[in-house]
Structure 1
Amino acid sequence: MMERRRFLGMAASGMAGAAGMSALSGCGSGSGGDVTLKMVAADYGDPGGDNSSQKFWDELAREFTRKNPGISVDVSVYSWNTVDKKVADMVKAGNEPDIAQIGAYADYAASGKLYKVNELLTIPVQADFLPGLAEAGEVQRVQYGLPFVSSTRLLFYNKDLFEKAELDPDSPPRSWKEVASAARALKKAGVRMPFGLPLGPEEAPAETMMWMLEGGGNYVDTVGNYIIDSDENVETFTWIRDHLVKPGLTGTDPRNTDRQQAFDAFSKGECGMLHGHPTLMQQARRGRIRYGTGELPGRDGVSDANLGVADWMMAFRAGGHRKEAGKFLDFVYRENNHYAFAARYDLMPVTSSATKRMRKDEKHRQLWPFLDQLDSAQFYPAGKVSWAGTSAEIKRTIGRAVTRNGNPATVLGTIQRKAETEEKSTPAAG
């Protein structure tokens, strides 16, 4: 969800996962041609809205086929709630798409299912990726994952609700203590969701990592070992349980709250504060919300670390369409095309050329604070083959850590053990 994505982030129609490629070809954008590429992508638009990513891919695929008459592209777009599982089910059934744009790539690379990036892209396109993001696409120093879009996070808050709660609308909380104090005031003022805490399956890995970073922890240490049940992380989730959930300051059960639900509440004026990525700006503006942003609050002051999320593009070997997939991916990452997608959804580009363009575009001035944080942002351990399984476990279970009777040490310990087991059982990429 750019948990990707998020960053980022993100919902569309569904289909039975193993229904296979015949289902894909029914919703695509290309027609005719000697080779038809099958692509699965995540949706960055609003649920039920008119800005579905399907429209972007349909238009781009038609333009590509016009310039490359021998190749057509069928694209199917799914919600971030389901897209990773859809691809996993298709792979398990032997129906791999030619191209997938999803949240993780390393497990497929380790199974020998993906093309290496240098087998796909021309050298100028490879060289245009931001170095840190390109490195995040590597497994054992070989790049298999293509970063697609990225995002960092800020604290969003509703200025009108702050004023209603007699809080300074120009001073967002800078520490957890101030977050809890502001949330209590918002609750007293009748705000339904004083602090949005989406630990449901859609965004749980990102929300979890943000809190870990704010509390001085992380998923992994400096050499890549999992430290999910570290003292810092246990203390963080204990604080969330005791200072936000037990006093009723989240408004909903975090276990069953997805990111989009929290974003929708914010855009309806029902949520006082939450962690947000750039796409929330669009939704808040459409809801005519007077909002402000601030740096992520930490345990004792502004957080020293920020979450960076990259979503991933990859090409599967099974169809044998290396040349055609490479041509299409070269086309996707052309400056105009890549910039058009990032700009449409208020996300951050992953190439130097598109990033420079965004920094010069006054229309995207509100994105500049997010861009400023990208160089120092910390990303998921996406290059670990075990990350996909670990991320899925976090989605399933992390919300239990902050229930009123939850035990953070037990929940984080269970995730830690499963991550370690997953790490030992996964093969090295070849």
Structure 2
Amino acid sequence: MGAFAFATVGALLFAGCASSAPQEDAESGPVTLTITANAITGGKNAAEADWITDWVIPQFEDAMKDDGKDVTVEFEPQGVDDENYKTKVALDLQSGEGADVIGMDGIWVGEFAEAGYIKPLSEVAGDAVDDWDGWDQIPEAVQAALSFDDERYGVPQGADGRVLYYNKDLFEQAGLPADWQPESWDDVLDAARDLKKLDGVTPIQLNAGTAMGEATTMQGLLPLLVGTGEQVYEDDKWVGDTDGLKDVLDLYKTIYVDEGLGDAVLQQEAAGRDTSFQLFAANQIGILLEGDYFWRSVINPAEGVGTAPMANRDEVVGYTKIPAMKPGSGINDQDFVSMSGGTGRVLNPNSDHPELAWELLAFMNSQEAYQERNATTISITPRNDVNDAILAEDPMLTYVSEEVLPITAYRPPLAAYPQVSTALQQASLDVVSGMSVDDALSAYVDSVKDIVGDDAVAGG
């Protein structure tokens, strides 16, 4: 409620000074544009900071010079906790200050938009936004990461998707197929039961509890919930005592309490998620629900890249789509589901040079820019033309780009979401710790009603 109140007050303060139309850029004379992001050389998100400093800025300045414009770009790096960065950006925008181009987590967009801190790109920079040819290369599902109320507020700078990873060697030992594709939750449970016969192997790791934070929500609860046909927020209401959420908590109970297919203690450890990575890399976990981050940044065998590298990753690690609870039960009647997150960049509506700021933002999201950004570390970009070229040698990332992103869903970019997410994490912890599903669900509903009000909660 504190975050919501802060945003509401900010909206009132901001309403008096927001510009309703793009300002004209100066036709002559030097112009300085600024970029900020939660990235800093030698620290957090260093690769992004280096790319901005070493490539984006000099290349854009040269391009502007060739166009007869005297433009200098300055980078304002940050390397702090995400919440501290969020607070700084909010205060900057509230006071009419801040960088021209601002890095922003997708789940903040709705909150900042409702507060009046940011505006749709076309409202800030004019017709050039909608005329940009880059939109044709960014699928609508990916654009949604930086959209709100069907308006584009920013340009996504990446895309990701969740899948089920599995260890092919352990599957072979358990008599399971190497080309596994479960079609229901029951299929996953059956595979886990077969893996349970192997000594020293935890059949399945499904993030739960508050210690894992948002990883529990994104790599556990939400992919399961959309597999029941429900979303955490839809029709202006937050999920409450619904059939879908009960089914999700029942699955946690089956895995961690009834059948011991997962390690309940691991879910309560402060470093439990990192431990699960190490155990998977050591062939001690059979099935793991994770994002493509796990493939490219955790078990990546490239020197100095993976935090839990697997030398035989490409041969031993399988990956497959997350099945709905049963065929056709997912959102939009889908057989398979996923969740995606992502960050992007928005324009500051207080910019003195909004049209030039848009030129800079478009340049940062050009084909050439993404090719340079991925010259050393490959990841899924928002652009199809870039992905077609750079992902060709990585079948897993190609799989996510082509098979998973078209069926993915996103978290609601609303101020109440982080608190609702924490309540969901607590519900999973309660179940894993032995509380009945009914009691855990009841406690969760009480918490959510305290957050958003009785009328904004769906279900009984």
Interval of TM-score (by shorter of Structure 1 and Structure 2): 0.7 to 0.9
- Give the aligned partner of residue 29 of structure 1: none
Q: What runs of 5+ residues in structure 2 fail to find an aligned partner?
A: 1-29, 62-70, 302-309
What SS class does the counterpart of residue 341 from structure 2 fall into? strand
Amino acid at match of 2:38: A
User: Deviation of residue 156 (structure 1)?
Assistant: 0.8
Moved more, 326-335 or 232-241: 326-335
CA offset digits 1:60-88 (Å, max 9, x no partner): 3222222326112133345xxx42x1223
Q: Is the 8 A contact 1:205 1:391 kept in 2?
A: yes
Q: Taking every aligned residue pair, what percent have the same amino acid on both sides?
A: 16
- Give the aligned partner of residue 404 of structure 1: 434
> Following the alignment from structure 2 to structure 1, what is the Cα–Cα distance between the partners of residues 337 and 252?
18
- Give the aligned partner of residue 139 of structure 2: 130
Question: Structure 2 matches for 1:31-180, cutoff 5 A?
Answer: 35=32, 37=34, 39-41=36-38, 53-67=45-59, 68=61, 70-77=72-79, 82-83=81-82, 85-91=83-89, 94=92, 98=99, 99-104=102-107, 105-118=109-122, 119-120=124-125, 122=129, 123-124=131-132, 127-128=135-136, 129-171=138-180, 173-180=182-189
What SS class does the counterpart of residue 208 from structure 1 fall into? helix
Q: Is the 8 A contact 1:153 1:275 kept in 2?
A: yes
Question: Which of 296, 305, 322 is the equivalent residue of 2:322?
Answer: 296
> Following the alignment from structure 1 to structure 2, what is the Cα–Cα distance between the partners of residues 167 and 263?
22
Amino acid at match of 1:124: W
- Give the aligned partner of residue 409 of structure 2: 378
Indicate the structure (1 or 2) with the bigger Cα radius of gyration.
2
What SS class does the counterpart of residue 151 from structure 1 fall into? coil
> Following the alignment from structure 2 to structure 1, what is the Cα–Cα distance between the partners of residues 145 and 106?
12
> Following the alignment from structure 1 to structure 2, what is the Cα–Cα distance between the partners of residues 141 and 175?
32
User: Deviation of residue 337 (structure 1)?
Assistant: 2.1
> Following the alignment from structure 2 to structure 1, what is the Cα–Cα distance between the partners of residues 339 and 411?
8
Distance change >3 Å, CA 234–CA 140, structure 1 → 2: same
Distance change >3 Å, CA 408–CA 357, structure 1 → 2: farther
> Following the alignment from structure 1 to structure 2, what is the Cα–Cα distance between the partners of residues 34 and 395?
47
Distance change >3 Å, CA 254–CA 301, structure 1 → 2: farther
Amino acid at match of 1:244: Y
Question: Structure 2 matches for 1:156-305, cutoff 5 A?
Answer: 156-171=165-180, 173-199=182-208, 200-206=212-218, 207-221=220-234, 223-251=235-263, 252-256=265-269, 259-282=273-296, 283-286=298-301, 287-288=310-311, 289=313, 290-300=316-326, 304-305=335-336
What SS class does the counterpart of residue 164 from structure 2 fall into? strand
Moved more, 199-208 or 87-96: 87-96
Amino acid at match of 1:417: K
| 1:335 paired to 2:367 | yes
What SS class does the counterpart of residue 279 from structure 2 fall into? helix
Q: Is the 8 A contact 1:234 1:408 kept in 2?
A: no
User: Deviation of residue 110 (structure 1)?
Assistant: 1.2
User: Deviation of residue 144 (structure 1)?
Assistant: 1.6
Q: What runs of 5+ residues in structure 1 fail to find an aligned partner?
A: 1-32, 44-49, 425-430
> Following the alignment from structure 1 to structure 2, what is the Cα–Cα distance between the partners of residues 374 and 269?
28
Q: Is the 8 A contact 2:43 2:79 kept in 1?
A: no
User: Deviation of residue 345 (structure 1)?
Assistant: 5.5
- Give the aligned partner of residue 420 of structure 2: 390
> Following the alignment from structure 1 to structure 2, what is the Cα–Cα distance between the partners of residues 94 and 423?
33
User: Deviation of residue 261 (structure 1)?
Assistant: 4.4
Q: Is the 8 A contact 2:39 2:77 kept in 1?
A: no
Amino acid at match of 1:367: L
Moved more, 178-187 or 392-401: 392-401
Paired positions, count: 378
Distance change >3 Å, CA 171–CA 388, structure 1 → 2: closer
Distance change >3 Å, CA 298–CA 143, structure 1 → 2: closer
Amino acid at match of 2:358: G
Distance change >3 Å, CA 405–CA 153, structure 1 → 2: same
| 1:307 paired to 2:316 | no
Distance change >3 Å, CA 293–CA 92, structure 1 → 2: closer
Output the TM-score relative to the length of structure 1.
0.74
Amino acid at match of 2:223: M
> Following the alignment from structure 1 to structure 2, what is the Cα–Cα distance between the partners of residues 97 and 395?
34
CA offset digits 1:226-273 (Å, max 9, x no partner): 234311211221221133344332224435466554334323333211
What SS class does the counterpart of residue 218 from structure 1 fall into? coil
> Following the alignment from structure 1 to structure 2, what is the Cα–Cα distance between the partners of residues 346 and 246?
41
> Following the alignment from structure 1 to structure 2, what is the Cα–Cα distance between the partners of residues 132 and 301?
22
Q: Is the 8 A contact 2:202 2:286 kept in 1?
A: yes
Output the TM-score relative to the length of structure 2.
0.70
> Following the alignment from structure 1 to structure 2, what is the Cα–Cα distance between the partners of residues 396 and 320?
45
Distance change >3 Å, CA 145–CA 112, structure 1 → 2: same
What SS class does the counterpart of residue 217 from structure 1 fall into? coil
